[in-house]
């Protein structure tokens, strides 16, 4: 019994130490939860939740290599400071918070060898003509695959850095609770932009098809090219008669 009691005391001390370690983060989560209880989530809340993630002791983020392969599978990247919530679609949807500086559309287009593959949407205005939070979009890829993004995908992406930290399970549940409405807000933005882009590309394809010659027009053009005048018909008849006359008798 003495050994078991000591183990319980050690476990309690460890839990207390972990709790104190996350006290600042817990307070920030509680403040954001209280704020969200009385209103709908907004763009600024995404910035606040990214700040909370970065406050977690021992948290780490993947640092992807920014190249054409990375950008070509990107659907959207919500960029704030050095943190980016990146959503990709390869054969399935993948998302994660990564350490990546904001990527201007011109740079993304240059890296992928395109003039207009990427566009950006400002979510929160910043200072000195730089957005505080913006969403970089791979336009055609997003238009084709935005429906594969779910709220669960976004919540899991936001929660993973915290749950991957030792002791992070203590704050994981309340964190997921505040992440849910923010993920829902972001999902609406992604779907709204995806639907607009889908209609735009569908309209462009329809316009291209309407500008191409129709089969009836081609047939009319062909008929015009082979049409003959009465004089041509008589000449063809004479040529035909001459060809028959020139044939040797049997």
Give yes or no for residue 181 having a pLDDT over 50: yes
Which segment of 14-18, 26-30, 212-216, 239-243 scores lowest on mean pLDDT? 239-243
Rounded to two decimals, the pTM is 0.75
Residue 241, pLDDT > 70, answer no
The pLDDT of residue 227 is: 37
Q: Which residue has the tokens 């990214």?
A: 50
Q: Which of 129-138, 164-173, 222-231 has the lowest mean pLDDT?
A: 222-231
| pLDDT band, very low/low/confident/very high, at 174 (cuts 50, 70, 90) | very high
């Amino acid at each position: 019994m003495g050994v078991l009691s000591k183990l319980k005391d050690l476990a309690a001390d460890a839990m207390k130490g972990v709790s104190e370690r996350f006290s600042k983060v817990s307070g920030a989560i509680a403040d954001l939860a209280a704020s969200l209880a009385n209103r709908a989530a907004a763009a600024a809340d995404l910035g606040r939740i990214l700040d909370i993630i970065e406050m977690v002791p021992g948290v780490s983020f993947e640092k992807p290599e920014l190249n054409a392969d990375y950008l070509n599978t990107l659907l959207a990247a919500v960029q704030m400071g050095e943190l980016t919530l990146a959503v990709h679609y390869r054969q399935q949807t993948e998302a994660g918070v990564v350490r990546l500086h904001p990527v201007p559309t011109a740079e993304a287009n240059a890296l992928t060898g395109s003039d207009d593959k990427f566009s950006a949407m400002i979510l929160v205005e910043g200072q000195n003509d730089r957005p505080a939070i913006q969403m970089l979009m791979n336009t055609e890829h997003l238009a084709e695959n935005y429906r594969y993004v779910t709220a669960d995908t976004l919540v899991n992406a936001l929660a993973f850095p915290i749950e991957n930290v030792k002791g992070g399970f203590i704050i994981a549940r309340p964190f997921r609770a505040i992440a849910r409405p923010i993920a829902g807000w972001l999902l609406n933005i992604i779907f709204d932009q995806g639907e607009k882009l889908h209609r735009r590309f569908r309209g462009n394809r329809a316009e291209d098809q309407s500008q191409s010659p129709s089969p009836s027009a081609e047939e009319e053009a062909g008929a015009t090219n082979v049409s003959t005048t009465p004089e041509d018909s008589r000449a063809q008849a004479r040529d035909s008669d001459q060809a028959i006359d020139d044939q040797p008798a049997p």
